[in-house]
């Protein structure tokens, strides 16, 4: 699929999102480990980017004019792997090899072995800084690609995120859009209890960013926010996407236990029934 020439409806995007959720549950269940909660909360965000918004060529992953997507919260790799496979970067048959020895689909993204992955991830808080470098390289090379970076709200407790936020505004990087998957939970519990970052939108505004708040599961709002971001000049944009951890699966929604725990076979079966 060359997304320069394909335009999908919201209904078609919703169908793809359901497919991604099924992939996520299946591959993590088979692996016996992984991070379903934050992968599921980001499904609509990633679907909108890969199947509607970004310019990219799955048959040419290194196309110099491609838009770049950086998964800063690298433990949510399953949602990216599913999007890459479903859009044609590698066969969907490879998805069940998640976290297996010798697989190109490791627990955190590795740009050296997975087609379409822009950054190797592991330590949180790195992706925004990395994205600034990519965006500045595009400016120096007089290229017009856009850089999208997905962060977690728990990840935004990291100091480096705010150093990067300050730098992006200082350098007026308007080809950079950050998306925060604000599902309210991290591995230890509710983010408001672990390290309250509110008032969240106001913090980004104070750091010089154009700020948009949306329902992160609403395709119309997502697409509108991404379109708006492209019109903003002289400053970066952050889209604060309010989401539900474990979205789409009843026993995972807002359940911190599934931040980093795989469903057992019976739970996989139940989840897939809910996603039919």
Predicted confidence at residue 265, as pLDDT, reads 98
pLDDT digits (tens, 9 = 90+) for 179-237: 999 999 999 999 999 999 999 999 999 999 999 999 999 999 999 999 999 999 999 99
- C-alpha closest to that of 49 among 70, 27, 73, 24: 70
Which pair of tokens denotes residue 155?
């990840």
Per-residue pLDDT, 6: 59
In percent, the amount of the chain with pLDDT more than 90 equals 97
pLDDT at 187: 96
Residue 248 has what pLDDT?
98
pLDDT at 57 over 80: yes
**H helix count then E strand count, the chain:** 10, 7
Chain mean pLDDT for the chain = 97
Predicted confidence (pLDDT) per residue in 136-172, tens digit: 999 999 999 999 999 999 999 999 999 999 999 999 9
In CATH, which of 1.20.1530.20, 3.40.50.970, 3.40.50.2300, 3.40.50.300 is domain 10-274? 3.40.50.970
Structure tokens at 160: 């480096």
Strands (E) across the chain are located at 68-71, 147-152, 176-182, 185-186, 189-190, 210-215, 237-242
The rounded distance, in Å, linking the Cα atoms of 149 and 173 is 13
CB 20 within 8 A of CB 84: no
Q: SS3 for 182?
A: strand
Half-sphere exposure of 131 (CA within 13 A, CB side): 37
122: pLDDT confidence band, cut at 50, 70 and 90? confident
Specify the pTM: 0.97
Q: How confident is the model at residue 5 (pLDDT cuts 50, 70, 90)?
A: very low
**pLDDT category of residue 7 using cuts at 50, 70 and 90:** confident
Residue 143: other Cβ atoms inside 10 A: 13
Percent of the chain having pLDDT more than 70? 98
Say how far apart CA 117 and CA 246 lie, in whole Å.
23
Rg of the chain in Å (alpha carbons) = 17
Cα 48 to Cα 28: distance, rounded to the nearest angstrom: 22
- Any long-range contacts for 102-110 (C-beta under 8 Å, 24+ apart)? 105/27, 105/77, 105/81, 106/77, 107/33, 107/34, 107/75, 107/77, 108/74, 108/75, 108/77, 109/71, 109/74, 109/77, 109/80
* Domain boundaries of the chain, sorted by first residue: 10-274
């Amino acid at each position: 699929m060359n997304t320069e020439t394909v335009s999908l409806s919201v209904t078609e995007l919703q169908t793809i999102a359901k497919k991604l959720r099924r992939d996520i549950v299946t591959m993590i269940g088979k692996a016996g480990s992984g991070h379903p909660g934050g992968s599921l909360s980001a499904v609509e965000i990633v679907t909108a980017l890969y199947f509607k918004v970004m310019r990219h060529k799955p048959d040419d992953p290194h196309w110099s004019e491609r838009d770049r997507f950086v998964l800063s919260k690298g433990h949510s790799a399953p949602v990216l792997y599913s999007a890459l496979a479903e859009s044609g970067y590698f066969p969907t048959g490879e998805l069940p090899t998640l976290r297996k020895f010798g697989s190109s689909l490791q627990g955190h993204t590795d740009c050296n072995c997975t087609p379409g992955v822009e950054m190797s991830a592991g330590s949180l808080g790195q992706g925004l800084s990395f994205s600034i470098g990519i965006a500045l390289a595009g400016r120096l090379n007089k290229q017009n690609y856009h850089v999208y970076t997905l962060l977690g709200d728990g990840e935004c407790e990291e100091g480096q995120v705010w150093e990067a936020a300050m730098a992006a505004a200082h350098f007026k990087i308007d080809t950079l859009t950050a998306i925060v998957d604000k599902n309210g939970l991290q591995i230890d519990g509710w983010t408001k209890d672990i390290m309250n970052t509110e008032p969240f939108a106001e913090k980004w505004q104070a750091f010089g960013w154009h700020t948009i708040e949306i329902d992160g599961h609403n395709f119309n709002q997502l697409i509108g926010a991404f379109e708006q971001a492209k019109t903003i000049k002289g400053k970066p944009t952050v889209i604060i996407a309010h989401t539900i951890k474990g979205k789409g699966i009843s026993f995972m929604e807002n359940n911190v236990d599934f931040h980093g725990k795989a469903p057992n076979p019976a739970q996989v079966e139940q989840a897939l029934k809910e996603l039919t």
